[in-house]
């Protein structure tokens, strides 16, 4: 498998390097072939129509299907470069005097030139990249090909570009599939005899339902293992984007990852909320990520310093220095993988939690803030990194995927003004540290109308109101994502609480005194116990024996250093090896999350009960 991945990557790199130019990217971005026909959606077919086919290395024999796979990898990399080309061209065309302090007119001109769906993080990153080029070269780059080098193809095998002459997928049973594929038996196959069919079984997880159509997988060889990216298809109808009467509004918070609320649209067009916040708090995991990032930066600094020392040696490199550098690079890669895995776990757990709440409350739509207009600015670097969109992009993708399986629509609404406006009156709010502390902060929101609410909870109510009252403005883009571009705010009304039937029908106990008080026997308040004698009952020996080292002085009975029993009491003067109050993971025991430092509102079932099991936030 590794030999096939190396062959595919080598041929794809040749195609990318041969057509890494402004003219070639412009032809690919136009979407029209030399014959005037529209380029197909399949990457390898588009590359072949343009005449950019992959060629096997000299002396190596590969089939046409392997060349397809290499052309598909090259087409994906070049099409991604076309998007970067459009962003860089828009930035260069509207480059201001101070790129980090654009005026309103400069922002308007830039937004008009940018491609659709470009977020602020991409603008900021590309602006920094161009500014770095200007500092080094003293001028603006001509295009993206001058700004950066050709991208490298991934070391993977996309079998979706091949047919049954290269890959066959069969069902063994309901939980196992068998993949047949032609693989080389050497690094440089010289004939077709060096290609042999191999079979391997893949166990399907419980999240894959029975009877689905399994697609050709993507194989990614690693160290001692091969990872299989297996996609499957099932018939699905897109849920409607309008006509909803109950929705779930979710806000991206600073302290909490997600804060949601349930809102209803009544017959008069008013938005009514119940006032109960739903929170997914991952503060502990965020702190862990901050420590991992700090450790990663420390390892990267040490590795860069050792690399400079190695490259600056006039003689042959020192084996000890080379070995230390290899260990640092391996540890750096392990820390990066840990960060990626933890981010992915948090994102999918939060998405599963939000979709389960929407299903439990009977909501048919989920409204979230538009990530393209969400940017953290004016804060410290640490805070900007905490509230960055690195994890939120994965969360939004996971929400859309899980909600589609539950027939729930996901719509994005504009993020501007969700936290600065009052959900009741629409006026400006003041952010304070706490309800009883009027100092400026970012946790609590107060308004002149009497509103005193958590900031993220108030923003979630405002998001839900924007979505429910502007359903007619919802549009889908070419990728199928639903969004509301412009929205008007509507006041939110609090639902009146009704007394529960149990509280109203419960009989009131008659506490009037109609008879003499019965005689009650009270237990003794002081319990007598056998006190320890102050002196030993047996006197100390006057003459030491041969076995003893000396006299045993009289005194109190010595305390047992290691008492046994469930109710043992150890004085503070006696050291112990185990702590008195061991750490107990309350969050995981109560089912608040997959991680012991994640706290989330329990899932509400349609029957009214809550799920307190540890698997309530299970990633599926």
- pLDDT tens digit string along 367-410? 998 866 555 454 455 545 554 556 777 888 899 999 998 999 99
Kindly report, residue by residue over 75-88, the tens digit of the pLDDT: 999 999 999 999 99
The H or E element containing residue 443 is none
Q: What is the pLDDT of residue 394?
A: 85
Distance of alpha carbon 591 from alpha carbon 304, whole angstroms: 43
The pair of structure tokens assigned to 330 is: 């391996």
Contact 440, 446 (CB under 8 A): no
Average pLDDT of 261-275?
89
- 32, 33, 34, 37: CA torsion to nearest 10: -80
In this predicted structure, the answer to whether residue 616 has a pLDDT above a threshold of 80 is: no
Do 286 and 385 form a contact (C-beta atoms < 8 A)? no
How far apart, in Å, are the Cα atoms of 506 and each of 105, 166, 515, 538?
A: 67, 73, 25, 67
Do 254 and 442 touch, CB atoms closer than 8 A?
yes
Cα–Cα distance measured from residue 190 to residue 61, given in angstroms and rounded to the nearest whole number: 5
Instruction: Supply the pLDDT for residue 244.
Output: 92
Percent of the chain at pLDDT exceeding 70: 80
Q: What percent of the chain has pLDDT over 90?
A: 37
State residue 408's pLDDT score: 94
Nearest-angstrom CA–CA distance, 458 and 73: 46
User: Nearest Cα to 256, choosing from 274, 280, 230?
Assistant: 280
**Rounded mean pLDDT, 95-105:** 90
466 or 586: which leads in pLDDT? 466
| Res. 584: pLDDT tops 80 | no
Look at 115-119, 216-220, 313-317 and tell me which has the smallest mean pLDDT: 313-317
Residue 9: what pLDDT?
Answer: 93
Condensed to tens digits (0 to 9), the pLDDT of residues 404-458 reads 989 999 999 988 888 888 888 888 888 888 888 878 877 888 888 888 888 888 8
**What residues are paired with 180 via a beta bridge?**
168, 199
Report the mean per-residue pLDDT for the chain: 82
What is the C-alpha to C-alpha distance for residues 557 and 43, in angstroms, rounded to an integer?
A: 87
- The whole-number average pLDDT for the span 169-192 is 90
Model confidence at 587, pLDDT cuts 50, 70, 90, reads: very low
**Which is higher by pLDDT, 375 or 94?**
94
Tell me what pLDDT residue 74 has: 94
178: three-class secondary structure by DSSP:
strand
Q: Residue 170: how many CB atoms within 10 A of its CB?
A: 11
Lowest mean pLDDT, pick from 483-492, 555-564, 608-617: 608-617
Non-local (6+) Cβ contacts of 193 within 8 A are none
Q: Is 549's pLDDT higher than 80?
A: no
Instruction: Say how far apart CA 20 and CA 127 lie, in whole Å.
Output: 21
- Closest C-alpha among 33, 45, 96 to residue 71: 45
Nearest one of 422, 489, 494 to 455, comparing CA atoms:
422
Going by pLDDT thresholds of 50, 70 and 90, the confidence category of residue 296 is very high
State residue 613's pLDDT score.
Answer: 39
Quick one: 555 exposed, middle or buried, by C-beta within 10 A (0-12, 13-18, 19+)? exposed
Determine if the pTM surpasses 0.85: no
Q: What gap in Å lies between CA 368 and CA 381, rounded to an integer?
A: 25
The yes-or-no verdict on residue 234 having pLDDT over 90 is no
Judged against a pLDDT cut of 80, whether residue 521 lies above it is answered with no
Measured distance CA(196)–CA(237) in Å, rounded: 41
């Amino acid at each position: 498998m590794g030999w096939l991945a190396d062959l595919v990557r080598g041929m794809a790199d040749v195609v990318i390097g041969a057509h890494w130019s402004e003219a070639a990217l412009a032809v690919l971005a136009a979407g029209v072939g030399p014959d005037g026909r529209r380029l197909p959606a399949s990457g390898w077919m588009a590359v072949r129509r343009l005449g950019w086919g992959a060629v096997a290395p000299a002396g190596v024999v590969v089939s046409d299907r392997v060349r397809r796979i290499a052309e598909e990898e090259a087409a994906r990399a070049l099409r991604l470069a076309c998007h970067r080309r459009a962003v860089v061209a828009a930035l260069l065309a509207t480059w201001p005097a101070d790129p980090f302090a654009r005026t309103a007119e400069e922002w308007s001109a830039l937004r008009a030139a940018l491609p659709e769906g470009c977020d602020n993080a991409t603008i900021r990153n590309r602006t920094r990249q161009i500014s770095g080029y200007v500092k080094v070269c003293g001028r603006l780059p001509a295009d993206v090909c001058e700004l950066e080098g050709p991208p490298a193809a991934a070391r993977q095998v996309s079998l979706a570009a091949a047919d049954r002459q290269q890959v066959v997928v069969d069902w063994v049973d309901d939980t196992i599939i068998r993949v047949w594929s032609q693989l080389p038996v050497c690094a440089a196959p010289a004939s077709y005899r060096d290609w042999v069919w191999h079979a391997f079984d893949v166990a399907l997880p419980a999240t894959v339902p029975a009877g689905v159509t399994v697609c050709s997988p993507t194989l990614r060889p690693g160290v001692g293992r091969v990872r299989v990216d297996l996609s499957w298809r099932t018939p699905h109808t897109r849920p409607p984007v309008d006509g909803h009467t109950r929705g779930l509004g979710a806000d991206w918070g600073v302290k909490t990852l997600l804060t949601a609320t349930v809102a209803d649209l009544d017959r008069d067009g008013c938005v009514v909320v119940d006032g109960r916040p739903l929170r997914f708090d991952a503060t502990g995991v965020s702190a862990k990520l901050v420590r991992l990032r700090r450790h990663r930066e420390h390892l990267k600094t040490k590795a860069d310093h050792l690399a400079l020392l190695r490259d600056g040696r006039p003689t042959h490199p020192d084996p000890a220095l080379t070995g230390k550098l290899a260990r640092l690079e391996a540890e750096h890669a392990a820390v990066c993988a840990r960060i990626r895995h933890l981010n992915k776990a948090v994102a999918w757990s939060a998405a599963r939690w939000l979709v389960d709440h929407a299903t439990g409350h009977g909501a048919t739509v989920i409204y979230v803030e538009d990530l393209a207009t969400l940017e953290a600015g004016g804060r410290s670097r640490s805070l900007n990194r905490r509230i960055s969109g690195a994890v939120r992009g994965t969360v939004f993708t996971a929400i859309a995927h899980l909600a589609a399986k539950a027939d729930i629509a996901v719509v994005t609404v504009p993020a501007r003004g969700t936290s600065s406006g009052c959900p009741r009156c629409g006026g400006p709010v003041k952010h304070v540290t706490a309800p009883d502390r009027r100092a400026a902060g970012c946790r609590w929101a107060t308004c002149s109308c009497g509103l005193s609410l958590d900031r993220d909870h108030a923003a979630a109510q405002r998001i839900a109101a924007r979505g429910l009252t502007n359903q007619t403005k919802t549009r889908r883009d070419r990728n199928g994502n639903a969004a509301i571009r412009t929205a008007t705010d509507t006041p939110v009304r609090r639902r009146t609480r009704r007394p529960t039937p149990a509280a109203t029908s419960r009989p009131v106990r008659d506490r009037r005194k109609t008879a003499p008080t019965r005689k009650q026997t009270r237990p003794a308040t002081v319990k007598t116990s056998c006190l320890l004698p102050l002196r030993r009952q047996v006197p100390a020996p006057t003459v030491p024996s041969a076995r003893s080292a000396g006299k045993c002085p009289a005194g109190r009975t010595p305390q047992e250093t290691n008492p046994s029993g469930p109710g043992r009491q150890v004085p503070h003067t006696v050291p112990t090896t185990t702590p008195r109050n061991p750490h107990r993971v309350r969050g995981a025991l109560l089912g608040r999350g997959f991680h012991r430092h994640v706290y989330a509102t329990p899932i509400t079932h349609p029957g009214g009960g809550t799920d307190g099991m540890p698997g309530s936030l299970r990633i599926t």
